[in-house]
Amino acid sequence: MDSKYEYYEKTFDSMIEGIIMVDEEAKIILINRAAREILHLAEAYHTGENVVDIIPNTRLHEVVKNGKAEIDRIQKVGDVRIMTSRVPIFDSDGKVKGAFAIFRDVTEIQKMAEEVTDLKHIRLMLEKIIESTDDAISVADEKGNVMMVNREYTKLTGFNENDVIGKPASIDIAEGKSVHMIIAKEKKPILGHRLKVGPMKKDVIVDASPLFVDKRFVGSVAVVHDVSKIIALSHELEEANRVIRKLNAKYTFEDIVGTGQKMQVAIIQARKVAQTRATVLLRGESGTGKELFAHAIHNASDRANNPFVSVNCAALPEGILESELFGYEEGAFTGAKHGGKIGLLEEADGGTLFLDEIGKMEINIQSKFLRFLQEMEITRLGSTRTRHLDVRIIAATNINLEDAVKSGKFISDLYYRLNVVPINIPPLREREEDIEPLVRHIVRKLNQEYGRNVENISQDALNAIKEFLWPGNVRELENFIARAMINMDIGDKEIKLSSLPSSNLQYKKIELKLEKSTLRSALQSYE
C-alpha cells in the first residue's frame, strides 16, 4: 500500500497542475509539489491538516459538504490567481468520501488579459476624445501611414476614412509636404506648417508631434487648423481687440518700482529715449516688466495721445501675424474679411507699435518688416498700393538675438535696425533691494482687485520671500503674493509666514542646503 501511495505521490508531483486532495473531514490527504510552488507553501505542510487552515479561502470543504463540483473557477490566493476545478469523491455507495482540486497559476495570463482590455479601453477613450474635438486630427504610424482620423478631418479634407487609413499620409496633401512624413524622418515636432489639403485645396495650418513609447518612435499626431475658421474667429474678436489696442498705454514711469542701481540705469535710459523717436529694444527675461517699460516710454513721449498698439509675435501663427501686421484687401486669401482689414501698423500710425517676443517672428515676416523699417511704407496683402506711415517701434525679447543672428534665425539687418537703443531690464534676483517695495506695491494693487484690505506683511514673510531667486521674476512674485492673499482668512490684515505658499519656500530650503554643502566643501579644500 505504501509503495502504491508513493507511486501515486510521485505521479502527482510530476504534474504541472497543482493538486490538493482532502477526506470527508476536509483534512489534506495529498498535496503535490506544483500546488506548493503555486501557492508558495513550505514543505513543512503535511497531510492531516485541515485545508481551511492552509488555504483560508478554499472551497474544498464546501464541495465535501454539498457534493457539487465547481469547474474552472478563478480564485485569488495571496498574490496568486489560479483557475481551479473542485470535484467531490464518492464511494461505491454514492457517499462523499472527500474531494480534490486541480488548478494552475493564471496570474500572468490574467494580467495580460487585463492589459489587453485596458488597451482596448484606452483606444476607445482616445477615439472618443479625438472625435469630441473641433479640430481635425490625424494619427500616423512610424512609417507615416495613416492610422486614425476624426470626423472633423473628413469634413475639412473631403476624404473619408477608407480613402486614407493604411495609406501614406501624403495622400490628402494638395500643396506642400506631409508633416507625418517629415516627422517619420526627423522625429521632431512641427508647428505652424502651412498646407493645402483635399480636392478643394483648403488652406490649413498644421501642428504635429512625434509619439514615443519607451523612448521608441511609434508615430505622430497632427492637429489641422482650418485657416478660414481661424480668421473668422479672429474677426469676431476684432472689434473688441481694436478698441483695447487703441486705448492709450496704461502705465507710466511712476508705476515702475525700482531703486537699485541696475533698475535705475534702465529707467533713466528709458526716460531719455522716450523724448526721441528712436527705435527701442527692451531686453530681459520673461516676467521682468518689458511691457511696463514700453507703456511708460510711450506715455512719456510726444505720442502719448496717439495709439499704443501691441502684439505678441509668438502668439499668432505665421500667416495670421503677417495679415495682422500689414492688413489685407478683400479677396486676398481664403476667409479674408469682406472689405479687407487695416493692419496693426496702420492702427499705430502716429503712435507706437510694441512688438513683444520679436525673436519669435518668422524669417519671411522679418524680411517684410525690415522693408517697412527702411521705407516706413507698407502694402496690404492683396494690394499694390503703398501707404506711408509714421510709427515708432518698441520691440522686446527674452532670447539672445545675437545668437539667433549667428544661427540664421534672425536677420542681421533687422537686428541692427531694432538695436538702436537697447535697454536691459535686470532680473529680480539681481534686485534684492526692490523686493520689499515691490511686494507692498503688489499688495496695494491686489487689494483693489480682490476687495481685500491687507495692510502689512510680517518681517518673517519678507525674509522668506527675499531668500527665493524668483526665476519667473516680477510676474512670478505677483502670482506668489496673490496665492498668499487667497490663503489668508477674510479680515486678516497682515501676510504672515504661514500664509505663504509652501512650494517656493521648500524649494529655497533645498537650494540653501546645496549652497551650504558646496561652501563647506570649498572651505575644506582651502584648508
Over residues 362-375, mean pLDDT: 94
Which long-range contacts link 221-224 to residues 24+ away (Cβ below 8 Å)? 221/137, 221/138, 221/139, 221/140, 222/137, 222/138, 222/139, 222/140, 222/179, 222/180, 223/135, 223/136, 223/137, 224/135, 224/136, 224/137, 224/138, 224/153, 224/156, 224/157, 224/197
Counted residue by residue, the chain has a size of: 527
Cα 39 to Cα 42: distance, rounded to the nearest angstrom: 9
Query: For the segment 312-325, what is each residue's pLDDT rounded down to a tens digit?
Result: 998 887 668 888 89
Average pLDDT over residues 378-390: 89
Question: What fold, for 133-225?
Answer: Beta-Lactamase (3.30.450)
Distance separating alpha carbons of residues 321 and 192, to the nearest angstrom: 11
Residue 511 has pLDDT above 60, yes or no: no
- Contact indicator for 218, 227 with CB cutoff of 8 Å: no
> Beta strands 352-356 and 421-424: pairing type?
unpaired
DSSP state of 340: -
| Distance (Å) of CA 462 to CA 209, 219, 474, 495 | 44, 50, 15, 9
Least confident of 105-109, 118-122, 441-445: 118-122
DSSP β-ladder status, 136-141 and 146-149: antiparallel
- Which range (5-14, 91-100, 250-259) has the least confidence? 5-14
- Tell me which amino acid residue 372 is: F
Average pLDDT, the chain: 84
Mind listing the pLDDT tens digit for each residue in 442-460? 999 898 888 888 889 999 9
Choice between 221 and 527, residue whose per-residue pLDDT is larger: 221
Cell for 231?
480668421
The Cα-based distances of 388 to 98, 255, 345 in angstroms read: 104, 34, 10
DSSP string for 470-520: -TTHHHHHHHHHHHHHHHSPTT--EE-GGGS-HHHHHHHHHHHHHHHHHHH
Question: Is pLDDT above 80 for 122?
Answer: no
3-state secondary structure of 356: strand
Q: For residue 52, what is the enclosing H or E element?
A: helix 51-54
Three-state SS at 307: coil
Q: Which residue has the cell 496568486?
A: 80
pLDDT of residue 226: 84
Q: In which element (H, E) is residue 423 found?
A: strand 421-424
pLDDT in tens, 134-193: 788 899 999 999 988 888 888 888 888 888 888 998 888 888 889 999 999 999 999 888
The neighbouring-strand residues paired with 377 are: 388
CA pair distance 195, 206, nearest whole angstrom? 7
Percentage of the chain beyond pLDDT 90 is 45
Q: What is the pLDDT of residues 25-43, one digit of tens each?
A: 999 888 888 888 888 887 6
Burial class (CB in 10 A: 0-12, 13-18, 19+), 259: exposed
Top-level class of domain 428-526: mainly alpha
Q: How far is CA 74 from CA 22, 58, 511, in A?
A: 20, 11, 53
Fold of 2-109: Beta-Lactamase (3.30.450)
Residue 262: strand, helix, or coil:
helix
Instruction: Give the number of C-alpha atoms closer than 13 A to the C-alpha of residue 428, restricted to the C-beta side.
Output: 25
Instruction: For residue 429, give the amino acid letter.
Output: R
Least confident segment among 110-114, 296-300, 370-374, 387-391: 110-114
Distance CA 439, CA 461 (A): 11
Q: What is the pLDDT of residue 339?
A: 61
Res. 106: pLDDT tops 70: yes
Residue boundaries of the structural domains of the chain? 2-109, 133-225, 247-424, 428-526
| 2-109 and 247-424: identical CATH topology | no
How open is the CA angle 111-112-118, to the nearest 5 degrees? 90
Distance from C-alpha of 71 to C-alpha of 73, rounded to nearest angstrom: 6
- Could you say which architecture CATH assigns to the domain 247-424? 3-Layer(aba) Sandwich (3.40)
